[in-house]
Amino acid sequence: MRLDITGLSVEVAGTRLVHDITLRAASGRVVGLVGPNGSGKSTLLRCVYRALPPAAGAVRLDGADLHAMDARAGARLLAALPQESGTEFDFTVAEVVAMGRLPHQRGTGRPSAADTAVCARALARVGAAHLAGRGFPGLSGGEKQRVLIARALAQEPRVLVLDEPTNHLDIAQQLAVLALVRDGDAAGARPTVLTALHDLNLAARYCDELHVLSRGRIAAAGPPYDVLTPELLAEVFGVRAHRVRHPESGAVQLLFDRLPPASS
């Protein structure tokens, strides 16, 4: 499913934080959003997953206006992993993941055997099947993050919006989660993904395309290594970057240093 963001501006408490964003994620593509702290990534994503209304512009899924859809219809198409859930769900892990099935349930709202199977698969995909019976509040930060990703996967969305999915994850889990997001499920179903990421090397490795946000506006967009030039990294992130090649794969990697202080 295609995600089109056109002319999107977002305001919080009367202040415009995100200005006139236009980007497209073609069906099945992984599009990354990178930018320094406070550049507006979360605010933009919150509007895309409908936690905030647009002040101008629109978010469309295969041409249909997401903000004009009823909540259940929208939730059957698009699932989100917010940066901070803000909720200490007093539920078991299995119950938290089952919440992902709510948009698909009718009548009694009780999960069917098929719903339970979808949830079990989602937990297994993030390597958290063994946590199903545990209470959510007692999990570690990384375990919670994997369970919330499983909840989003259990929603079987056509579009997945992720705000820092690697937060709290150790390096092996970071690579595993981004690989599963990029590669889709065993049946080859792969949602369209829009994800904010801080780690520029991970963003370059797992995203088909990157959009760089700076002060609420798009500063650059395109294939990762066309975008992540030393000039842009100095200007937007304030760092000195070297590009080197991985000794085995030959893939480009970025190494960072602080910029030398400006001479007066």
- Applying CB under 6 A, among 39, 145, 155, 174 the residue interacting with ligand ATP is 39
Residue number with CB closer to ligand ATP (35 or 103): 35
Residues 43-82 that bind ligand ATP (CB under 6 A): 43
Smallest separation (angstroms) from ligand ATP to the CB of 86: 13
Q: Residues 9-28 vs ligand ATP: string with x where CB under 6 A? A: ---xx-x-x-----------
Identify the residue among 29, 41, 50, 146 touching ligand ATP (CB under 6 A).
41
Fill in the amino acid letter for 128.
A
Of 189, 146, 167, 156, nearest to 28 by C-alpha is 189
CA distance 191 to 64: 17
Pick from 5, 29, 35, 237: which binds ligand ATP (CB under 6 A)? 35
Measured from the CB of residue 41, what is the shortest distance to ligand ATP in angstroms?
Answer: 4
> Pick from 9, 42, 155, 195: which binds ligand ATP (CB under 6 A)?
42
Provide DSSP, 68-120.
GS-HHHHHHHEEEE-S-------SBHHHHHHGGGGGG--TT-PPPHHHHHHHH
Q: Please tell me whether residue 37 binds ligand ATP under the rule CB under 6 A.
A: yes
Give the shortest CB-219-to-ligand ATP separation in angstroms: 12
Taking every pair of Cα atoms in the chain, the longest distance, rounded to a whole number of angstroms, is 71
Nearest in space to 207 (alpha carbons), one of 215, 217, 218, 197 = 197
CA 105 to chain centre: 25
Number of residues binding to ligand ATP, judged by CB under 6 A: 12
Query: Sign of the C-alpha dihedral, residues 88, 92, 97, 103?
Result: negative
- Which region, judged by CB under 6 A, interacts with ligand ATP, from 31-39, 126-134, 227-235, 242-250? 31-39
Examine residue 40 and tell whether it contacts ligand ATP (CB under 6 A): yes
CA atoms within 13 A on the CB side of 228: 29
By CB under 6 A, which span of 40-48, 96-104, 175-183, 230-238 interacts with ligand ATP?
A: 40-48
How far is Cα 152 from Cα 240, in angstroms, rounded to an integer?
36
The residues, any chain, with a CB within 8 Å of residue 39's CB and separated by 6 or more, are 213, 214, 215, 216
84/90 with CB nearer ligand ATP: 84
Burial label for 180, CB within 10 Å (0-12, 13-18, 19+), is middle
Interaction of residue 101 with ligand ATP, rule CB under 6 A: no
Between helices 141-154 and 171-183, what is the axis angle to 10°? 10
Q: Is 38 in the site for ligand ATP (CB under 6 A)?
A: yes
Q: Cβ closer to ligand ATP: 183 or 235? A: 235
Residue 192 touching ligand ATP (CB under 6 A)? no
Q: How far is the CB of 201 from ligand ATP (least distance, A)?
A: 16
Binding residues for ligand ATP (CB under 6 A): 12-13, 15, 17, 35, 37-43
